[in-house]
C-alpha cells in the first residue's frame, strides 16, 4: 500500500473512531498521543511510527493493519458498517442456483434478523469456546449474515486481538436455517452452519452444527456444535464487537442453555 493511501485510510478511520469520544482532547489523552501530532494523522498528513500505531491499535483492541484498512472494511470491524462481499454472486454460477431459495426464505427469516453471539468450541484456540458476533440482516430480497471473530494475542504486553470477518447468505429449508460464510481477508475459507430456531416466541436461541475447512496447509475439515444467542434486534455496534473473544466453557457470561448444549457430548468437536 502506498504512503498516500495509508494516510488517507488512517485519517478516515480515525475520524470514525473520534465520534465515540467527547472530544479529540479526550481521545488523545486516553491514547497517550500529543494533540498536535494526532491532528496530523487526522488530517491525512502523516502516519504514526510502528510503535505509536501499535499502541493506538491496542487501545481499540485491533491490529495495527486494521487502522490502515479501507474505510469500507474498517466500518465492519468498528461499528458494523456496510461490508463488501468477497465476490459477486454473478461470478459464481453454482451459487446462483441458490438464489430462488434465498429469495423465498426472506419472509420466513425476517423475524430472525438481528445481532447474535455465536458460541462454539474453537478450532484455532483449542480448549476454549469462541464467542463471535453474527449479524443477520435483510438486503435486496435476501438475508445476509456478517460474522466477526476476534482472538486475543496472549503473548503481547498490551491487550490486542486478531480479527477475522466473514460474509454470507442465509436460507431456510425444512424449518432449518442454513448459513454459508466466506472469509473476507484471505479469501481462503468457507464455513457452513445448519441451525434449528426455537419454536417459542420470541426466539432467543438457535442450535446446530458448524462445519468449516481450516485455512492451514493441512486443509483439515472441522465440525462442532454451535449455538446462537440473540442480543439485539438492530444493527451491529462496537459494544457487540468488544465481546467477541475466546473463553473457558465455565465462563459465567455464557448463557446456561448454551453451556449445557456445548457440554452434552464427550466428543465436542470432530476433525477429519
Q: Cα separation of 121 and 226, whole Å?
A: 8
Q: What is the mean pLDDT of the chain?
A: 82
pLDDT at 91: 60
> Which residues are registered as beta bridge partners of 166?
147, 183
Contact 147, 63 (CB under 8 A): no
Q: Cα separation of 241 and 237, whole Å?
A: 7
pLDDT at 80: 47
Give residue-wise pLDDT tens across range 153-183.
Answer: 765 555 566 778 888 889 998 889 999 888 7
Task: Judge whether residue 268 has pLDDT over 80.
Answer: no
Q: Cα separation of 68 and 206, whole Å?
A: 36
Q: Which three cell numbers stand for residue 92?
A: 459464481
Which residue from 158, 151, 159 is spatially nearest to 131, judged by alpha carbons? 151
Question: What pTM was estimated for this model as a whole?
Answer: 0.66
User: What length does the chain have?
Assistant: 272
Distances, alpha carbon 252 to alpha carbons 3, 49, 118, 249, 257, in Å: 46, 40, 15, 8, 12
How many C-beta atoms lie closer than 10 Å to residue 78's C-beta? Answer: 23
Amino acid at each position: 500500500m502506498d504512503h498516500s493511501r495509508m494516510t488517507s485510510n488512517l485519517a478516515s478511520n480515525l475520524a470514525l473512531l473520534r465520534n465515540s469520544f467527547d472530544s479529540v482532547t479526550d481521545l488523545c489523552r486516553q491514547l497517550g498521543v500529543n494533540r498536535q501530532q494526532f491532528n496530523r494523522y487526522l488530517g491525512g498528513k502523516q502516519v504514526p511510527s510502528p510503535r505509536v500505531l501499535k499502541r493506538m491499535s491496542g487501545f481499540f483492541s485491533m491490529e495495527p493493519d486494521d487502522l490502515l484498512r479501507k474505510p469500507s472494511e474498517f466500518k465492519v470491524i468498528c461499528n458494523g458498517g456496510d461490508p463488501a462481499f468477497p465476490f459477486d454472486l454473478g461470478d459464481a454460477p453454482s451459487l446462483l442456483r441458490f438464489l430462488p431459495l434465498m429469495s423465498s426464505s426472506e419472509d420466513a427469516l425476517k423475524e430472525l434478523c438481528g445481532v447474535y453471539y455465536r458460541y462454539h468450541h474453537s478450532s484455532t484456540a483449542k480448549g476454549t469456546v469462541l464467542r463471535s458476533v453474527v449479524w443477520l440482516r435483510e438486503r435486496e430480497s435476501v438475508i445476509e449474515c456478517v460474522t466477526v471473530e476476534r482472538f486475543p494475542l496472549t503473548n503481547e504486553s498490551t491487550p490486542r486481538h486478531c480479527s477475522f470477518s466473514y460474509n454470507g447468505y442465509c436460507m431456510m429449508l425444512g424449518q432449518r436455517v442454513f448459513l454459508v460464510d466466506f472469509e473476507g481477508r484471505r479469501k481462503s475459507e468457507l464455513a457452513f452452519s445448519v441451525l434449528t430456531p426455537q419454536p417459542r416466541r420470541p426466539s432467543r436461541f438457535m442450535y446446530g452444527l458448524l462445519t468449516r475447512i481450516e485455512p492451514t496447509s493441512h486443509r483439515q475439515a472441522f465440525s462442532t456444535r454451535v449455538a446462537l444467542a440473540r442480543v439485539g434486534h438492530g444493527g451491529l455496534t462496537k459494544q457487540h464487537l468488544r465481546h467477541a473473544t475466546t473463553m473457558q466453557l465455565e465462563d459465567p457470561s455464557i448463557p446456561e442453555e448454551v453451556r449445557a448444549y456445548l457440554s452434552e457430548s464427550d466428543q465436542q468437536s470432530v476433525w477429519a
